[in-house]
Amino acid sequence: MNFSDELTLLLRACYPLIYIPTAEEERLEKAIATVLETMGNRNVYIWDFVEGYADNPNNTGFGKRNPLQALEFIEKLPPKVGGVFILRDFQRFLEDISISRKLRNLARSLKSQPKNIVIISPQVTIPDELTEVFTVLDFPLPTAGEIKTEITRLISATGQALSEQLLNDLVRSAQGLSLERIRRVLTRAIASHGKLEPEDVELILEEKRQSIRQTQILDFYPATEQISDIGGLNNLKDWLLRRGGAFSEKARAYGLPNPRGLLLVGIQGTGKSLTAKAIAHHWYLPLLRLDVGRLFGGLVGESESRTRQMINLAEALSPCILWIDEIDKAFAGATGKGDSGTTSRVFGTFITWLAEKQSPVFVVATANNIQSLPPEMLRKGRFDEIFFVGLPSGEEREAIFQVHLSRLRPHNLKNYDLKRLAYETPEFSGAEIEQTLIEAMHIGFSQNRDFTTDDILEAASQIVPLAKTAQEQIQFLQNWAASGKARLASRNNALG
C-alpha cells in the first residue's frame, strides 16, 4: 500500500492523531492536499507557532505562539465540519502537560468526527503517555517517477532537450534525496553552465553523500577494493562472480529475483569486511555502511523510526550494497527485556524487512560470534547464503602475502619467499599477516634498508595469533561450520 492509499484509509477510519516524520514539509502538505481532493469532505487547516493558522482569512493568525489555543480551535469547530489539521513542529510541545492532556481528550472526541490532526516533524519524538493515541505514518522519499517529473520541469525553463540516457542517469543518481535537495543541486548546475551535463551526475552524488552523512544512520562508504585483493575464499568469490549481472534488467527478464544478501560468519580478521567492499566495487553499486548502534535513540518510538528511515533510505538508493559489520554485537540482546523491548522491536522490524523486501538492496552482514545471533537471523529466506570464513590455509596465506607484497613492493616481489612465509605463519589470519608486514617494514625502515623475508619472519615470531588467544571460540565456530550449518568460503578450509 502506498502513502496516499494508507493516509486515505486512516482518514476514512477516523484515526484522530497521525504523526508523519519527514523533513519534506512542503512536499508532504501537497500530498495531503491531493488525497483530500479525492475525499471531498474535508478542508485543510495549517498551523505553525510563528504564524498561527494561515489557511483562510477568517482564521489567519489564530493560535499564534499558542499551541494550546491551536488545539482549542479544533475543539470549537462544529462536529460535522470535516477537516485535516496540519500542525508543524508540534512535537516540541508534547511534553507540556496541558498539551498532552488536551490531545488525549481530543483523541476521544474526534473518533466520531470527520477530523484528523496531523503532526509533521523531522523525526518521531512521542512521550510515553501519548504513544497509544498516535499513529505513525511514514512518508517515503520521492520515487523515480516524481524525480523524473521534477527534472523535466526544471530543464524546461532552459529549452534544453535531455537525452534519455542522461535523464535516466540523473534520476538514478538523485534517488534517495528529497525533492528540495534535488532542486537545489540541479539549479546550481544550471546556473553554473546554463544546462545539465553528464558531469552533473557527480554533483548529485556528492549531494547524496552529504545527505546520507546528515542522517547520522548510514555512511556512504567509498569502495576501492577489488575481488582480486582478497586472498583465498575461492568458493565465496565464485558465488559472487556468478551474480555479477543479477541486478540488471536482463536478469529480471530472465525471471531471476534480486539477490537478497550474504551473512559472513567467521573468525576476526579473515576478510569479511574486505569482501563487503569488494562486492560493491565489482558490481559497481554504492556501498552504504550501517552502524546498528545509531538506530537506537533515547525517546519512545525513536529507535523504530530510525530503523524505518534507514530502510526507506536504503531502498531509495537501490540498487546498492548495505553493509552491516559485526551484526552479532548489535542484536546480541534482541531477546532480552532490559531496554523495554526496544532492541527486540528494532530487530523484528529489520528481519521482517530482510525476509519480505523486494527492492534490490543487497545486505552483507558480518558476524564473529554466531552464538550471539538470534536464531531468526539464520533462517532461510533472510539471506541468499551463509558463508563460514575460517583461518586461511597454507595456500591461501601464500596468496594473501602475494596480494599485500604486490601492493607494497610490486617491483621486488620476487625477492620474497612466499612459500616459506606461508609455511612459517600457521593459524595466522589475513589481518595478522598484514600487521606482520607492517612490523617488518618498521624493522627495515629503522635500519635504513628495505625489509626482507627474514624481517617478516622475525615480526611474525613476535605476534601471538588469535587462533591461540581465542582457541575455544574458534574451535566452536569451526565445529559449527563443520556440522553443515554454513557454506565454506574456501575450497580447502581445514575444519577442526
Q: Where are the domains of the chain?
A: 3-136, 144-215, 227-389, 394-426+430-464
pLDDT for 382? 86
pLDDT for 492? 66
Q: What's the rounded Cα separation, in Å, for the pair 483 and 38? A: 59
**CB neighbour list of residue 303: distance below 8 Å, 6 or more residues apart:** 295, 296, 297, 342, 345, 346
The alpha carbons of the chain give a radius of gyration, in whole angstroms, of 28
Q: Which residues of 90-128 are buried (b: 16+ CB within 10 A; e: fewer)?
A: bbebbeeeebbebbeebbeebeebbbbbbbbbeebbbbe
CATH fold for domain 227-389: Rossmann fold (3.40.50)
Q: What's the rounded Cα separation, in Å, for the pair 309 and 320? A: 16
pLDDT for 36? 93
144-215: what CATH class? Answer: mainly alpha
pLDDT for 257? 87
CATH fold for domain 394-426+430-464: Helicase, Ruva Protein; domain 3 (1.10.8)
Q: Can the peptide bond before residue 375 be classed as cis, meaning omega within 30 degrees of 0?
A: no
| Amino acid letter, 493 | N
- Read off the C-alpha cell for 388: 563460514
pTM over 0.75: no
CATH fold for domain 3-136: Rossmann fold (3.40.50)
**pLDDT tens per residue, the chain (496 residues)?**
789 999 999 999 999 999 999 989 999 999 999 999 988 778 899 999 999 998 777 778 899 999 999 999 999 999 988 999 999 999 999 999 999 999 999 999 999 999 999 999 988 889 989 999 999 998 988 888 889 999 998 888 788 888 888 888 888 788 878 899 899 999 988 888 888 888 888 888 788 777 777 777 888 887 778 888 888 788 988 998 888 888 777 888 898 888 899 999 988 888 888 888 888 888 878 889 988 878 876 665 678 778 888 888 888 778 889 999 888 887 776 555 555 677 888 888 888 898 888 888 999 999 888 888 888 888 877 899 999 988 888 998 999 999 999 999 999 899 999 999 999 999 898 899 999 999 999 999 999 999 999 999 999 999 988 888 888 888 888 888 888 888 888 876 545 4
| 394-426+430-464 has the same fold as 227-389 | no
- Read off the C-alpha cell for 283: 558490481
